[in-house]
Amino acid sequence: MKPSQISIHLPFLLLASSCAGIHGHTAILRPDGETASFVNMIDELAKADVVVLGEEHDSDGIHALQLRTTAALLERRGELTIAMEMFERDVQSVLTLYLMGAIDEQELMHKSRPWSNYAEHYRGAIELARKNGLTVLASNIPRPLARNVGREGTIVSQGGPWSARNVIPMGGRYEEIFMDLMSGMTGHGGDIPAGALERMFEAQCIKDEAMAESIAEHLARTPAPKPLVVFWCGRFHSDFGLGTVERLARRRPDLKIAVVSGRKQSSGEFDSETDTGRADFLWIAPE
């Protein structure tokens, strides 16, 4: 798709170019905590093969910047695919039919199991894709499968039609961060039995494998010029280059993957102890 054919309006590019480091009250920071302008960020992200936009699912500010970044990258690159954690692999055909105009939005909502915040936070990306003839990858595993893995372990997913073909246990730092997060959510580490935590981590990993596989296989089967893939996901799947990013890099070490990590935070400040190495760009939105 040629840039001149793209059906989007981007007045925010003019605003962003004059507001270094601040975009609609959301701070844009580099890995060292220095501010970056929106335009400079787009300049750098557009050089990647895959751009991962990690979010906190309930942040209006982060979602607004996700959509505007995706639109700006579409204008810059012309060829673009959106991959989304928020749609599951078994509804790909329904999503594709909607993007083609073969079904209406009511049918899409009825058949695709959209997240509860779809209208507020994800509809914009789908409509951007529909109006511009873009592919959207329903990348995640079905939720019932993830729940089954959480109860019984990865054995229940092996050979299933919606699972990744290659699920390799990868612990290390990712598992440590996951366990710390779960302990923090329960208030103290003793609330969830160790075996249950392990199965929950396995469910997390098969999601990562499936989403990485969806992106890798799409790029493999798409003829040149290859599209830029913009992946929308929860930031836990991508922070520090772990999760889905780590598994995509394992499948395709040749890809240049850029990671953005967005979060809500009252201070809007960079924390050198916890943020160093987290992402190529940090977005910090007010709470």
Quick one: what percent of the chain has pLDDT higher than 70?
A: 84
Q: Where are the domains of the chain?
A: 23-140+208-285
**H helix runs in the chain, sequence order:** 12-17, 38-45, 60-77, 92-100, 105-111, 123-132, 143-152, 172-186, 194-221, 244-251, 272-275
Strand bridging mode 26-29 / 135-140: unpaired
Structure confidence by residue, pLDDT tens digits, 188-235: 445 777 777 888 888 888 899 999 999 999 999 999 999 999 999 999
Is the pLDDT at 150 greater than 80? The verdict is no
Is the pLDDT at 32 greater than 60? The verdict is yes
Give 166 or 276, the one with higher predicted confidence: 276
| Contact between 265 and 59 (Cβ < 8 Å) | no
Burial of 218 (0-12, 13-18, 19+ CB in 10 A): middle
- Number of residues written out for the chain: 287
Is the pLDDT at 24 greater than 70? The verdict is no
Q: Tokens 């039995």 appear where?
A: 193
Structure confidence by residue, pLDDT tens digits, 107-148: 999 999 999 999 999 999 999 999 999 999 999 999 878 777
Which strand (E) or helix (H) includes residue 80?
strand 80-88
Which pLDDT belongs to residue 6?
A: 55
37's tokens: 């302008």
Q: If pLDDT is split at 50, 70 and 90, which confidence band does 158 have?
A: low
Give 260 or 171, the one with higher predicted confidence: 260
Task: Please report, for residues 28, 181, 238, 265, 277, the alpha-carbon distance to residue 269 in angstroms, rounded to integers and kept in the order given.
Answer: 10, 21, 20, 8, 15
Domain 23-140+208-285 sits in CATH at 3.40.50.11550
